[in-house]
Structure 1
Amino acid sequence: MGQRKDFLAANHGLRVARPAFVLLARANGGLGKRYGITVTKRIGNAVVRNRVKRRFRELLWDALPEAGLPDHDHVLIARDGAVGRDFAKMGDELSAALQRAREGKGDPPRRKGSHRPRKGNRK
């Protein structure tokens, strides 16, 4: 997974939120188990973002072969809690999130306009 259209398509799939990340899962039409990681600048500077990406990558490499959904794209979107969260705890949360996704139990879709405003746009 590496093209923007794949990430946008995954956004229309199943969504499971956890304190450190949001897991998106969507069928990809027989392309196998693929993964993607999104860490925005809101999380921190480049050093922090790269550390979060490395941690997520390791978690996914460990979990997806057995617990991942077959022929699905899996996207982890970092949340503020990802930076200092215990690695083992995030692994447990990822396993639980993948289990919920396998059962088809996603979180309700976000309402439009319910996201937090950006730092520069606060009123």
Structure 2
Amino acid sequence: MSQRRDFLAANSGLRVARPGFVLLARPNGELGKRYGITITKRIGNAVVRNRMKRRFRELLWDALPGEGLPNHDHILIGREGGVERDFAAMRAELSGALRRAAEGKGDPPRRRGSNRPRKGNRR
């Protein structure tokens, strides 16, 4: 996936958080198994982000054909510390996250901190 609207649409789907990443899964009609990767600048410099993308891409290529949800978009969002995690542990976490998503068991949606001023409400 490369279009912003696909990533935004997937954000309304099922969310499964793990220590190294967050998996978003959302039905896409009849488009098959698709994947996307998001790594923010907060994670590190370009070298670190690209290394993390390569690791995620390899994980997805290995896991999605057998364990991915049919006709779903799968998005991995990198978390801090994910680049240092053991690859085998991340593979096991991805399998668990995909299994949980297949059961329809997602994590509750994120809440913003109540003491954090929102845009327009700054003092």
Please report the TM-score for the alignment, with normalisation by the length of structure 2: 0.91
Letter in 2 for 1:114: G
User: 1:114 and 1:23 mapped to 2: Cα distance?
Assistant: 22
User: 2:64 and 2:95 mapped to 1: Cα distance?
Assistant: 9
Q: Which residue of 2 aligns with 1:114?
A: 113
Q: Which residue of 2 aligns with 1:85?
A: 85
Q: Which residue of 2 aligns with 1:103?
A: 103
Q: Secondary structure at the match of 2:26?
A: strand
Q: Secondary structure at the match of 1:100?
A: helix
Q: Secondary structure at the match of 2:30?
A: coil
Residue 114 of structure 1, CA deviation:
3.2
CA RMSD of aligned residues (A): 1.3
Alpha-carbon deviations, 1:6-65, whole Å to 9, x = none?
Answer: 000000000000000000000001100000000000000000000000000000000000
Q: Which residue of 2 aligns with 1:57?
A: 57
Q: Secondary structure at the match of 2:91?
A: helix
- Structure 1 runs not aligned, ≥5 long: 118-123
Higher gyration radius (CA) = 2
User: 1:114 and 1:80 mapped to 2: Cα distance?
Assistant: 19
Q: Which residue of 2 aligns with 1:40?
A: 40
Residue 83 of structure 1, CA deviation:
1.6
Q: Which residue of 1 aligns with 2:18?
A: 18
Percent pairwise identity: 77
Q: Secondary structure at the match of 1:75?
A: strand
Larger helix fraction of residues: 1
User: 1:40 and 1:83 mapped to 2: Cα distance?
Assistant: 13
Structure 1 runs, 4 residues or longer, greater than 2 Å off: none
Q: Which residue of 1 aligns with 2:3?
A: 3
